[in-house]
């Protein structure tokens, strides 16, 4: 089976990079070899995982979308309370995120563009709080190439490298706030990302900036208008109740109230819970700011601590398996889940950190605090 292009690039990169610690290149190769061997053993025992990879991906998509629609329907019929519908849908949406990530690496229907794009569109429709997956693809490939550096737009976009406090907390679950509350930071990071792309003319750089800037158009802007509208109306209703003012009875208010509430329970709130869980774990399992470019051993840690389990439940154990993906891209998310425990020993032996809670104090620096 042909490796994804990003996997081939990483394999070549690991052979030619010279790191401050010369042993890191060898550690990278040992971990990659160990993960590949574990994955190959699983494929030998279950060859259908490779033979039917496209169908497995499509089946998972069908199951998750069906689960979300069922929750929405039951809530609309009054047979499922919001506090059940929201976490259940968030769980399904966390699987959709993993599917999207696999699709970005072209793991399903690589030779069938129509089916591939159909799947991309489906995972995007139920996760409109994210940027377009077609736009994210290039940003994510750059993340693999230069994870943890100043041009890593993907990680910087989810607050990796910021000091922890209330501001970072509210941005962690809301992608739009992460842009609006850090306009200069995001502008600088976007410029660094664009300038890191080699051999682009000025015109091509301007087009790339415009492309990145349109990442939330149109679904993201519609989504956040409805979600933030719901939050503002909820605050307004609480304020009116506190001071003894009755809510407006006009049709426009009632329509806005009903529409935003239904959208919040169906799509927005589950995505907020999923995003909060994913971005909290992802931004704290990736290191930032003092990572050597291309040094995969330094890029990530692994979360297995029980205190992270509630968040891991809504991001499909992302922080327990994503470091594996940095070393070996080829494996779909469900294979990474299956082989994770067997991969941990070789990762530990070769310098990958586990449960490094000091990252919160260091603003995600691997070694010491500093300014991004």
The DSSP call for residue 370 is -
From residue 18, alpha-carbon distances to 13, 224, 288 in Å are 10, 44, 19
Residue 286, SS3? strand
pTM above 0.85, yes or no: yes
- Mean pLDDT over the full length of the chain: 94
> How does pLDDT run across 229-256, given as a tens digit for each residue?
999 999 999 999 999 999 998 999 999 9
- Tell me the C-alpha distance between 64 and 111, whole Å: 24
Reported as type and span, the H/E element at residue 302 is: strand 301-302
Give pLDDT tens digits for 182-203.
999 999 999 999 999 999 999 9
- DSSP secondary structure, 78-130, as one string: TSS-HHHHHHHHHHHHHHHHHHHHHHHTT-SSTT-HHHHHHHHHHHHHT-TTS
312-345 residue pLDDT tens: 999 999 999 999 999 999 999 999 999 999 999 9
What does the alpha-carbon distance between residue 296 and residue 347 come to, in Å, rounded to a whole number? 11
What region, left, alpha or beta, does residue 371 occupy, with left being phi > 0 and alpha being psi -120 to 50 degrees? beta
- pLDDT band, residue 8 (cuts 50/70/90): very low
Q: Residue 366, SS3?
A: coil
What is the average pLDDT across 358-367? 95
Going by C-alpha positions, the residue among 194, 215, 193, 7 that lies closest to residue 105 is 7
Closest CA to 50 of 103, 108, 100: 108
Report residue 62 as tokens: 């069908």
Residue 368 binned pLDDT confidence (cut-offs 50, 70, 90): confident
Of 298, 238, 227, nearest in space to 261 by CA:
227
pLDDT digits (tens, 9 = 90+) for 52-102: 999 999 999 999 999 999 999 999 999 999 999 999 999 999 999 999 999
**pLDDT > 90 fraction of the chain, expressed in percent and rounded:** 92
User: What proportions of the chain, in percent to the nearest 5, are helix, strand and coil?
Assistant: 70, 0, 30
CB 309 within 8 A of CB 170: no
Predicted local distance difference test score (pLDDT) of residue 83 = 98
């Amino acid at each position: 089976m042909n490796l994804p292009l990003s996997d081939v690039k990483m394999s070549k990169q690991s052979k030619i990079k010279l790191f401050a610690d010369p042993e890191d290149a060898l550690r990278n190769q040992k971990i990659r070899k160990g993960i590949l061997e574990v994955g190959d053993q699983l494929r030998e025992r279950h060859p259908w995982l490779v033979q039917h990879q496209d169908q497995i991906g499509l089946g998972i998509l069908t199951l998750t979308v069906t689960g979300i629609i069922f929750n929405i329907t039951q809530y609309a019929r009054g047979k499922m309370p919001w506090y059940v519908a929201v976490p259940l849908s968030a769980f399904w949406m966390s699987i959709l995120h993993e599917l999207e990530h696999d699709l970005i690496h072209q793991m399903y229907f690589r030779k069938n563009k129509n089916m591939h794009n159909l799947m991309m569109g489906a995972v995007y429709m139920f996760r409109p709080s994210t940027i377009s997956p077609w736009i994210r693809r290039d940003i994510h490939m750059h993340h693999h190439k230069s994870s943890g550096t100043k041009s890593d737009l993907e990680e910087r976009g989810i607050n990796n490298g910021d000091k922890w406090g209330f501001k970072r907390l509210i941005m962690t679950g809301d992608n739009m706030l992460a842009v609006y509350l850090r306009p200069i930071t995001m502008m600088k990071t976007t410029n660094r990302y664009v300038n890191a792309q080699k051999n682009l003319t000025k015109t091509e750089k301007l087009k790339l900036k415009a492309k990145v800037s349109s990442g939330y158009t149109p679904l993201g802007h519609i989504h956040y208008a409805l979600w933030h509208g719901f939050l503002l109306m909820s605050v307004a209703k609480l304020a009116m109740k506190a001071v003894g003012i009755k809510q407006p009875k006009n049709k426009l208010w009632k329509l806005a109230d009903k529409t935003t509430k239904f959208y919040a329970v169906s799509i927005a709130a589950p995505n907020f819970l999923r995003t909060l869980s994913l971005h909290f774990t992802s931004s704290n399992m990736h290191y930032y700011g003092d990572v050597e470019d291309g040094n995969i051993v330094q890029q990530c840690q692994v979360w297995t601590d029980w205190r992270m389990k509630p968040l891991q439940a809504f991001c499909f154990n992302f922080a327990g398996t994503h470091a594996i993906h940095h070393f070996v891209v080829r494996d779909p998310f469900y294979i990474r889940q299956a082989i994770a425990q067997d991969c941990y020993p070789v990762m530990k032996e070769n310098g990958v950190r586990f449960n490094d809670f000091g990252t919160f104090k260091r603003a995600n620096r691997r070694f010491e605090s500093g300014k991004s």
